[in-house]
Amino acid sequence: MDRIDIHVEVPTLSYDELRADKKGLSSAEMKKQVEFARSRQEARFTEKASPVNSEMTAKEIKQFCKLDENCELLLKAAVSELGFSARAHSRILKVAKTIADIEGDDNIKPEHLSEAIQYRALDRQST
Protein backbone atom coordinates (compact mmCIF):
# COMPACT_ATOMS: atom_id res chain seq x y z
CA MET A 1 0.00 0.00 0.00
CA ASP A 2 2.90 2.35 0.74
CA ARG A 3 3.87 2.38 -2.94
CA ILE A 4 0.46 3.55 -4.16
CA ASP A 5 -0.04 7.33 -4.33
CA ILE A 6 -3.76 7.58 -3.69
CA HIS A 7 -5.92 5.26 -1.59
CA VAL A 8 -9.64 5.88 -1.62
CA GLU A 9 -12.32 3.77 -0.02
CA VAL A 10 -15.55 3.91 -1.98
CA PRO A 11 -18.55 3.12 0.22
CA THR A 12 -21.63 1.36 -1.06
CA LEU A 13 -24.40 3.73 -2.10
CA SER A 14 -28.00 3.27 -1.07
CA TYR A 15 -30.67 2.91 -3.73
CA ASP A 16 -31.82 6.48 -3.13
CA GLU A 17 -28.27 7.78 -3.57
CA LEU A 18 -27.93 5.82 -6.81
CA ARG A 19 -31.16 7.28 -8.15
CA ALA A 20 -30.56 10.86 -6.96
CA ASP A 21 -30.43 13.55 -9.60
CA LYS A 22 -26.99 14.85 -8.60
CA LYS A 23 -24.62 15.95 -11.31
CA GLY A 24 -20.88 15.66 -10.96
CA LEU A 25 -18.19 16.76 -13.35
CA SER A 26 -18.59 15.53 -16.88
CA SER A 27 -15.80 13.58 -18.54
CA ALA A 28 -15.07 16.63 -20.70
CA GLU A 29 -14.75 18.84 -17.60
CA MET A 30 -12.46 16.34 -15.91
CA LYS A 31 -10.35 16.06 -19.06
CA LYS A 32 -10.02 19.85 -19.14
CA GLN A 33 -8.82 19.87 -15.49
CA VAL A 34 -6.26 17.14 -16.17
CA GLU A 35 -4.97 18.91 -19.28
CA PHE A 36 -4.67 22.16 -17.34
CA ALA A 37 -2.70 20.50 -14.53
CA ARG A 38 -0.49 18.64 -17.02
CA SER A 39 0.30 21.87 -18.88
CA ARG A 40 1.42 23.46 -15.60
CA GLN A 41 3.64 20.46 -14.91
CA GLU A 42 5.12 20.49 -18.42
CA ALA A 43 6.00 24.17 -17.97
CA ARG A 44 7.62 23.38 -14.60
CA PHE A 45 9.67 20.43 -15.83
CA THR A 46 10.73 21.69 -19.26
CA GLU A 47 13.94 19.64 -19.35
CA LYS A 48 12.62 16.33 -18.06
CA ALA A 49 11.68 13.34 -20.18
CA SER A 50 8.60 12.75 -18.01
CA PRO A 51 7.29 16.16 -16.95
CA VAL A 52 4.86 15.10 -14.22
CA ASN A 53 4.74 15.60 -10.47
CA SER A 54 4.70 11.88 -9.74
CA GLU A 55 8.24 11.60 -11.17
CA MET A 56 9.75 14.35 -9.00
CA THR A 57 13.07 13.55 -7.38
CA ALA A 58 13.80 14.37 -3.74
CA LYS A 59 15.63 17.49 -4.91
CA GLU A 60 12.66 18.59 -7.03
CA ILE A 61 10.25 17.97 -4.15
CA LYS A 62 12.32 20.37 -2.02
CA GLN A 63 12.36 22.89 -4.86
CA PHE A 64 8.73 22.76 -5.97
CA CYS A 65 6.82 21.63 -2.87
CA LYS A 66 7.74 24.37 -0.46
CA LEU A 67 5.34 24.62 2.48
CA ASP A 68 4.33 27.60 4.57
CA GLU A 69 4.28 27.34 8.36
CA ASN A 70 0.66 26.11 8.52
CA CYS A 71 1.35 23.38 5.98
CA GLU A 72 4.53 22.35 7.79
CA LEU A 73 2.60 21.95 11.05
CA LEU A 74 -0.16 19.99 9.31
CA LEU A 75 2.26 17.62 7.60
CA LYS A 76 4.31 17.16 10.77
CA ALA A 77 1.18 16.27 12.73
CA ALA A 78 0.04 13.82 10.06
CA VAL A 79 3.41 12.09 9.85
CA SER A 80 3.75 11.94 13.64
CA GLU A 81 0.21 10.87 14.48
CA LEU A 82 -0.45 8.57 11.55
CA GLY A 83 3.03 7.09 11.33
CA PHE A 84 3.58 7.75 7.64
CA SER A 85 6.80 6.47 6.11
CA ALA A 86 9.34 8.62 4.27
CA ARG A 87 7.90 7.30 1.00
CA ALA A 88 4.37 8.28 2.06
CA HIS A 89 5.65 11.74 3.05
CA SER A 90 7.07 12.27 -0.45
CA ARG A 91 3.96 10.94 -2.14
CA ILE A 92 1.73 13.22 -0.06
CA LEU A 93 3.75 16.22 -1.22
CA LYS A 94 3.59 15.12 -4.88
CA VAL A 95 -0.17 14.62 -4.71
CA ALA A 96 -0.65 17.94 -2.88
CA LYS A 97 1.32 19.67 -5.65
CA THR A 98 -0.90 18.03 -8.26
CA ILE A 99 -4.03 19.18 -6.41
CA ALA A 100 -2.57 22.71 -6.33
CA ASP A 101 -1.94 22.46 -10.09
CA ILE A 102 -5.54 21.43 -10.73
CA GLU A 103 -6.66 24.47 -8.71
CA GLY A 104 -4.24 26.73 -10.60
CA ASP A 105 -2.26 27.55 -7.46
CA ASP A 106 1.52 27.93 -7.57
CA ASN A 107 1.89 27.03 -3.90
CA ILE A 108 0.61 24.13 -1.85
CA LYS A 109 -2.09 25.36 0.52
CA PRO A 110 -3.37 23.63 3.67
CA GLU A 111 -6.49 22.42 1.84
CA HIS A 112 -4.34 20.78 -0.86
CA LEU A 113 -2.20 19.11 1.75
CA SER A 114 -5.21 17.99 3.80
CA GLU A 115 -6.77 16.37 0.74
CA ALA A 116 -3.52 14.59 -0.12
CA ILE A 117 -3.22 13.31 3.47
CA GLN A 118 -6.78 11.99 3.31
CA TYR A 119 -5.84 9.96 0.24
CA ARG A 120 -3.42 8.01 2.46
CA ALA A 121 -6.11 6.95 4.95
CA LEU A 122 -6.32 3.36 3.72
CA ASP A 123 -2.54 3.14 4.06
CA ARG A 124 -2.97 3.65 7.80
CA GLN A 125 -6.04 1.43 8.17
CA SER A 126 -4.21 -1.58 6.75
CA THR A 127 -1.45 -1.54 9.39
Per-residue pLDDT of 111-121, as tens digits, reads: 999 999 999 87
**pTM, rounded to two decimals:** 0.83
Average per-residue pLDDT for the chain: 89
CA distance 87 to 93: 10
CA distance 74 to 25: 29
Per-residue pLDDT of 40-81, as tens digits, reads: 999 999 888 778 999 999 999 999 999 999 999 999 999 999
* CA angle, residues 123, 126, 92, in degrees to nearest 5: 5
Amino acid at 31: K
